[in-house]
Each structure stands twice: as structure tokens, then as C-alpha cells.
Structure 1
């Protein structure tokens, strides 16, 4: 299979080199911005930068120059972006809010991980904050992947990041100085292991929620040991990298899972879906995730000989549905623009699934929206 046949047409791919986690998903100055873990000089995971692309319709993307390069603090790991509409950082000006990026710096020699920030006035060129790191770290102690969001409960801003097997929450009034406010630890029934790429959002509930505030969803990407495979739901093939989610409340300081959730819930039930995140500064909850060919074997995936490696899933709108078993994520493919597809892209309803096939990628969503599966074509 040739590169032209392997490369998807409406799923984002890097021009060349390696790509993994989506980072800094945000709507800014009239465009959707996708930053991503990227090594332009390698076809395997190596020296991480933040790649960058923009789109007006989430289907066709314009590649932009690399946004963040490694520096004396280390390579650039995952993170998030927020539009500083109130100019609490002082980085913006009247009518021109700054785009503020948060990321983890990883020292390759000591494995020290610390949290840093950078800002941009045009969404393209970034200035790293002179006071980095804003949260220092310790050697050989994973602490990574900050997501910053507006705190709708107590005001100001919150940050969520992972530290080994724990999720930590921080608060700030100016997006620069942060204080820890709480922790979330995995329930006994959950998949355990190394936690990465936390993502929390206030969820819209289909049919409304007249008697209480909207629930929150906390998504966690997990690198799990084989001893945990028995906990994986039967609809999903057993493998080490999965995204699980929890539904609960956010009290302004930390997340609390609802007591009626007592089983493992997965964001996607396929073998190649990881590190998902949602866009900030948009009305709907729009998800992107890395399709990582984790168990590809000889399947038709863009491997080292094809000039690029790594694909993002097609954007999905996420909501919650209240079922007899509690809240569940509902998926639907998200089309802010036209549904006119280029030749070779198949979008159809087949049996009980909505299918999107784009060269080497197959995404399916069950008709009720509650089960999504992503994989590479055999």
C-alpha cells in the first residue's frame, strides 16, 4: 500500500515525522488550533516539540511552524491552551487577548518533570515565560500534562495534572501562580497504572438536568499492566493503553466520582485510541485523540517507511446520556462545516453502527452513540 493510500484525507496527520498526543486544543482568532506532540526528525517517539495546525472546519488543516521547541528545561510534553480573555496575565492588550499555553518540560537525563507556560499574541509565535517553571518537579517523579480551565464553581482558574497514579488539582487567580487544592485517586474498581493526559469538562446532558448542576467528566489515559487486563470490558480487546472516564462533580477544589459508578467505562473501545482531549473556548465539547497503532502488527498503518507516523481521530461531539446504569458518554461525529467528503472517504450507516472509513482508519459509533470503536484497517 502506497503512502498516498495510507495517508487519511480528513483525519489530521503530520506532514512528516512522528506525532502522538493532541495538545492545546483551542478556538482562537476564528480558527481551531491543534497543537500536538511531534518530532519532525524521527519516525519513532523521540525528542518532543509542539507541532501546530489550524482549521476552520476541523476536516481540512493548514500546517503551521513548530510552536514550542525543547530548551534547557527539557523536551516539550503534553499540555493545554486557554484564551486569557480577562488579561489576568498581562500578556495581552485591550481587545487582543493572549493565547496562553501550559506544558510539561521533561529533562531526558534526570527524568525531572516540571510545568511551564508560554504565550502568544497571534496564535503562531510563542514566548516562553521568563519565570518558568511555574510548578517545579522532582527527578524520577512523573508529573505531567497540565490542563487549565476556568473554574465555574469558585472563580479563577484550575489546573489538573497527573503525578504517577494520582490526579492533582491546582488553583490560580492570575494563570501564573498556582496552589494545590486537592487530589483524585482511582476507585478500587477502576483500571490502575500510569495515568497521563487528564481532561476534565462540564458535560451537557441530553434531555437536560433540571434538578442539579451539570455533571463533570474526568477522562484519564492509562498505561496499565497486564495484571489489570481482566478489568477491561468485554467489548474491548485487552491491551495496555486505554482511556477510561468517570462522571461526577467538581466542587472547585477537586473531582468526586458519583457513587453509582462502580464499573470501568472507556472513552473508546477500540485498540488504537489514546490521549484524548477537548477544545477550550468553544460551546460544544469536541474531542480529538491520538490513533497510535499500538498493536498494529502487519496491519495497514503509516509505519516508518511511509514518511510519517501518527493520526488524530475525526472530531467527536461528546454529551452525557442518563441510562438505567447511570451516566454514559454519547459520541457523534462533529461536522461544523460541510459533509461533502473527498473520494475514498466512506461515511455510512451499516447494521447498528455509523461508520467513517478514511483510507487506513476505521471509526465506528453505535447507533445509540454509547459505544465507539477506532482501529486501523486490516
Structure 2
């Protein structure tokens, strides 16, 4: 069973994808971290299991986590473990051999669990830590965790913890953000986007002119991913949406099909932010067991701020996907007027895209496939 993605990252020449996986069956249970690596985000090599549920603090599953790359190149993984009593706690894991670019072997911290549910938070409502970001004015790192507050009208909330060593954590006052009526927020993602250029930003990019922050959460109640763009203030530990009517859980979605538990990471090689999502089929458990697998990951996408509208994100499959195309035809010097019909003989093509800057709302392009 291949389910929610965890800890995507780039390390020493390889892209790494960790994912929740049941090595014994195609249905939920015995949740372990599978591991795959790629040079190009298209062709993947499966590696041995990375992290398995073998301690009291993750006996009921190694759940979603995130990777953080420190300035000296070290990699830290923070993940949610379900204890023997099904309490959700946060744990640390490190590469056993930092010189191994494939990160085949992992070790768990002797300090686990490093974060337990705080007062007022349900023991089963505390999961999925984000990639940590550094706040220079605080000389510390921060990590966000999703939860809910039923005493405040079933509100989804994001808690933020401060750490200097990734072992000791301090819960910051208040919440990063909250939206009433949205229920449990899981698989939270929090990252900056540039409003002035078409490059991605490192997760620790400073707030200020030309930078907005995206807050995304997966709604446990309806199994959809929602995001909003807003302004982050580290000093007050707060994030405010640019448009309250399109807040997290009530506004924009990454995708309006089957798409859930998504996560991004910053690719330092191509200076881009890459988004992955999980697709769960509508097959029955019986069908999943017969076929021997369940669920899949989407084609990775590049994510950018839409400078034209200033209200949403732009997404497009990573450029490496183009390497899978066998052939192509390009039509140029074609004049298109509003309401016109332009027949093009494109052979047996199955996909067509426009390479010009024509606003699709101003014209109608009809393609006849022969």
C-alpha cells in the first residue's frame, strides 16, 4: 500500500521520496516509510525500507514527516509516530551515514519523542510536522504541526514550535492560523513564494517585500487540499490571508480532482519549489487486495506565485517530464481572432499545448485530430 508522501528532499545529487507504505498488504496497517530515489524526478529506483515502526513511540505507525537541510548540509527528519496507545508524537530520524548520497540507512534519536501533544490538544489530533524554517531574529528554527480545536467551533489550527537544536522544543504562544468550522488540519505545508520572479524560494527565505507565504492544509473532514496566500510575521507568530474569503479550508484548492496529503520541497539545483500529491482510488479493499497495490503519487509539479493575477498559484509538471515525449510538431505564424475556428492537422497526437501568450479567454482554438 503506497499512501501519503513524507520528507521529499534533494541530497547529494539525488531526489528522495519517502512514502507511507504497508509492506505486508494493500490496505491500511503497519505503516512504514518506503524510499525511492531519482536523478530527474521521472525515473525512480526503489530502495530498502527507510524507517519502520519498531519503538514504543511509533509502534502504531511511522506517519507523515518532513526533511530539513541544515546550513552545514546535515539532514534532519521529523515525523509523527503513533505510540502503543495511539498517541500522536513527533520524532527525529537521521541518516546513519551522511556521506551516503542514497541515504539507505536511518537511525532514530535517543531523545524520541521530542514533542508530545500540548494541553488542550487531542492525543490523536497532533500530526504531520512541516519542514523547519530558520528565523534569524530569533536565532532558532520553527516547525508547524496541524491540529484542531473543537472548543472553538471545530476549528482547524496550526501550532508552531521553536528549537535551536531539534531536540528541545518550545511551543510558541497562540497559533499560526485558525479557521472555524474546518475541522482537523493534517499534512500542513508552509512555504514562501516570490511575487517578483519565477524562481522558487528556500523554506527559510525571509519575509518582506516581494515575498508571500503559502499556508496549505489537508482537510481530514472532506479529504481535500486547500491553500491560501498571505503575510507571515515571525515576531508575532502569525500568518494572515490576503483574502479572508479564500482562507484555508474555504477557498482555493491545489487540485479539484482526487488529490490529497500533498507536500512541497525546495530544489536548490533548479531553484524551484516542487509539489507532490497523493491519489487514492475509489476501489474497494477487496479490489486493492486482488491487484496487490493501492494509491499512487502524482507527477511532481513546479509551483509559482501567479504574478498576473496576484491571487493564486501556478502549477505545471516539472520540466523533466518533457523527456518522455517521443516526437512533437510546432505550428507557428498562425493568426487567431476572437471566435475563430482554426483546423490543424496534428496527426495522432494525444496532447496539445499553446506556446504563445494568447489569452485563452479571448479566443476559441478548435483542434481536429486526424
Q: TM-score range by the shorter chain?
A: 0.7 to 0.9
Distance 1:220 1:341, change over 3 A: same
Whole-Å separation in 1 of the counterparts to 2:4 and 2:317? 19
Describe the superposition over 1:22-74 as per-residue Cα deviations: whole angstroms up to 9, x where unpaired: 10011001100000111111111111111100001101110011110102212
Identify the structure with bigger relative contact order (alpha carbons < 8 Å, sequence gap 6+): 1
TM-score by length of 1: 0.72
Distance 1:280 1:322, change over 3 A: closer
Question: Quick one: which of 249, 253, 274 aligns to 1:286?
Answer: 274
CA contact (8 A) 1:82 1:281 kept: no
Whole-Å separation in 2 of the counterparts to 1:208 and 1:334? 14
Whole-Å separation in 2 of the counterparts to 1:347 and 1:149? 41
Question: Quick one: which of 81, 91, 100 aligns to 1:105?
Answer: 81
- Does 2:146 correspond to 1:162? yes
SS for the counterpart of 1:279 is: strand
Q: Please give the root-mean-square deviation of Cα atoms over the aligned residues, in Å.
A: 3.1
Question: Quick one: which of 160, 175, 192 aligns to 2:182?
Answer: 192
- Does 2:314 correspond to 1:330? yes
Aligned to 2:63: 77
Whole-Å separation in 1 of the counterparts to 2:193 and 2:33? 28
- Does 2:50 correspond to 1:67? yes
Whole-Å separation in 1 of the counterparts to 2:132 and 2:350? 34
Distance 1:331 1:206, change over 3 A: farther
- Does 2:92 correspond to 1:117? yes
Aligned to 1:265: 251
- Does 2:351 correspond to 1:348? yes
CA contact (8 A) 1:158 1:170 kept: yes
- Does 2:218 correspond to 1:221? yes
* Structure with higher strand content: 1
TM-score by length of 2: 0.74
CA contact (8 A) 2:195 2:210 kept: no
For structure 2, which runs of at least 5 residues remain unmatched after alignment? Answer: 149-155, 200-207, 328-348, 362-370
CA contact (8 A) 1:151 1:252 kept: no
For structure 1, which runs of at least 5 residues remain unmatched after alignment? Answer: 1-17, 87-96, 225-239, 353-365, 369-378
CA contact (8 A) 2:6 2:66 kept: yes
CA contact (8 A) 1:83 1:281 kept: no
- Does 2:20 correspond to 1:20? no
- Does 2:125 correspond to 1:133? no
Whole-Å separation in 1 of the counterparts to 2:254 and 2:301? 11
Distance 1:34 1:287, change over 3 A: same
| 1:329 Cα deviation after fit | 1.1
| 1:177 Cα deviation after fit | 1.7
Whole-Å separation in 1 of the counterparts to 2:292 and 2:189? 31
Whole-Å separation in 2 of the counterparts to 1:261 and 1:215? 15
Whole-Å separation in 1 of the counterparts to 2:133 and 2:360? 33
Distance 1:38 1:52, change over 3 A: same
Aligned to 1:250: 232
Whole-Å separation in 1 of the counterparts to 2:264 and 2:238? 18
Describe the superposition over 1:127-186 as per-residue Cα deviations: whole angstroms up to 9, x where unpaired: 100011111237733211111322256343210111233211112222222212241343
Whole-Å separation in 2 of the counterparts to 1:262 and 1:316? 26
Distance 1:192 1:145, change over 3 A: same
| 1:84 Cα deviation after fit | 2.7
Kindly tell me the number of residue pairs found equivalent between the two proteins.
Answer: 303
Whole-Å separation in 2 of the counterparts to 1:266 and 1:177? 35
CA contact (8 A) 2:141 2:162 kept: yes
SS for the counterpart of 1:157 is: strand
